[in-house]
Amino acid sequence: MSLPPTSARPAAPAPASTASPDDRLAVAGDLLALLQATATEPRPDPQLEALMLAVAADLPVLLWGEPGIGKTAALTQLAACLDLPLTTVIASVHEPSDFAGLPVVGDDPAAQGVPMAPPDWAVRLARAGRGLLFLDELSTAPPAVQAALLRLVLERRVGALRLPAGVRIVAAANPRSSAADGWELSPPLANRFVHLPWVHDPRVVVRGLGGTWPRASLPLLDPARLPDAVTFARRAVCGLLAARPGLVHRLPDGEARRGGAWPSPRSWEMSLRLVAFATAAGTSREVLSLLVRGAVGDGPGLELLASLDRMDLPDPETLLADPVAAELPERGDLRQAVLDGVVDAVRRRPDRGRWDAAWAVLVRAVETGPPDLVVVPATTLAALRRDDWDVPDVIERLAGVVSLRDRARAAGRGR
């Protein structure tokens, strides 16, 4: 019977070592150190960028993700990137007094009152003047503890102590379905956070296990853009809420939805700050979408994003003044919004010259983009014709899109 090649044979057992247990543990420690020695590299990661921008904006962030998804590891890396001491507090294993403060009786309570002494972790943060406070397992904290957390998250107060401005707050929670004895977040506490979903990317995990993780870095704010960023953010949020006052405050019906992001004056203020920071940093639309939807919810957040797109659209009056030089957006939905705006401007102030100019804008749209986007605004514009308005010759250039001349004449005869 032949033996397998030497390379295929199992290694012979190592001779018994005479090393002491301490020496063996030291070797094990060396191996653990090698396993923990990982590198980082710059790599696009929208959820990590969203977290960094919210932290830079000094807003409390709540990461939602399944157990073992890497939330704690992300916070550890975040603290290292910011060079901040990390203080982890497991909310579910603390009493309400650990956040509201412990009563300490002084010499004369009737004269001096009973101060609320903060816990040791809060004192350490105050002494350091800076730090990253990580509130873990938030969804397993009972309602009494959640109530005690309200002042900590919003006002940065723990008992009689106010945490310094250099302290940032990030929390993590598991969905109730996967949390151990989980609770829904109370609406007042939920409305104090920017909610970010935390999911794993298999490619990031594979590369990270290979020794290289994405690098967290603070957004680079352009000092020259700060005033314009604030103006832009205020105009965007105020413009939307002025047009949609029902979005200012909308408490969801279901208990589960109340424990997430929903619109209120507080969360709109957070959105305004996020838009300003994202504008000053030149953040991608994907990252900004995660942030504003995490502040006010999916529906209102998407409406805000749509209003941001419309703010960059050309003024309909400018297009009517010089339709031949009209520059229309490439994106279909934005181009449609511009054409609808031009027709609406003519409807609000009808005039023969403006009506003719609007047709010229539609011709420009057909020449530079998909013709189907012109059908609806052209049909509406044709219906605005007055009896004494001649049909302009430019309509002939749109004949392949829709029979506009006949519609315009019919509209005039039907008045």
- Count of CB atoms within 10 A of residue 107's CB? 6
pLDDT for the residue numbered 60: 96
- Burial tier of 190 (Cβ tally within 10 Å: 0-12, 13-18, 19+): buried
Query: pLDDT tens for residues 19-65?
Result: 788 888 999 999 999 988 888 888 888 999 999 999 999 999 999 98
What pLDDT does residue 296 have?
A: 96
What DSSP letter does each residue of 358-375 carry, written as one string? HHHHHHHHHHHS-GGGGH
Among the listed ranges 199-203, 323-327, 334-338, 411-415, which one has the minimum average pLDDT value?
411-415
First to last CA, the chain: 106
The DSSP H or E segment spanning 167 is: strand 166-173
Angle ∠(131,74,207) on CA atoms, nearest 5: 145
Per-residue model confidence (pLDDT) at position 300: 94
The region of weakest confidence among 168-172, 205-209, 236-240 is 205-209
pLDDT of 335 reads 87
Q: On the CB side of 139, how many CA atoms lie within 13 Å of its CA?
A: 22
CATH placement of domain 42-101+116-214: 3.40.50.300
Please report the pLDDT score of residue 401 as a whole number. Answer: 58
Q: Note the pLDDT of residue 403.
A: 53
Q: How far lies 284's CA from each of 201, 322, 405, in Å?
A: 19, 32, 44
pLDDT at 281: 94
Mean predicted confidence (pLDDT) in 278-287: 93
Place 15 in a pLDDT band, splitting at 50, 70 and 90. low
Between 195 and 386, where is the model more confident? 195
Q: What is the average pLDDT value for the chain, to the nearest integer? A: 85
Q: What is the pLDDT of residues 113-159, one digit of tens each?
A: 667 788 889 999 999 999 999 999 888 888 899 998 998 998 899 88
Reported as a pLDDT band with limits 50, 70 and 90, residue 242 is confident
Region 6-24: what's the mean pLDDT? Answer: 65
Q: With a cut of 80, say whether residue 214 has pLDDT above it.
A: yes
* 75 pLDDT tier (thresholds 50, 70, 90): confident
Top mean-pLDDT range of 15-19, 128-132, 365-369, 374-378: 128-132
Return the pLDDT at 10: 56
Q: For the segment 76-93, what is each residue's pLDDT rounded down to a tens digit?
A: 888 888 889 999 999 888
**91-100 pLDDT per residue, tens:** 888 888 888 8
More confident residue, 372 or 191: 191
CA 387 distance to own-chain centroid: 52
DSSP 227-278: HHHHHHHHHHHHHHHHH-GGGS----SSHHHHTS----HHHHHHHHHHHHHH
The pLDDT confidence band at residue 4, using thresholds 50, 70 and 90, is low
Amino acid letter, residue 298: D
> β-strands 86-90, 157-158: how paired?
unpaired
pTM: 0.74
Average confidence (pLDDT) over 148-171: 90
Q: Mind listing the pLDDT tens digit for each residue in 228-239?
A: 999 999 999 998
Residue-level pLDDT at 88: 92
- Per-residue pLDDT, averaged over 384-390, amounts to 86
In terms of Cα–Cα distance, which of 133, 266, 255, 253 is closest to 191?
Answer: 266
Q: How confident is the model at residue 6 (pLDDT cuts 50, 70, 90)?
A: low
Burial of 254 (0-12, 13-18, 19+ CB in 10 A): exposed
Query: Is the model's pLDDT at 280 over the cut of 60?
Result: yes
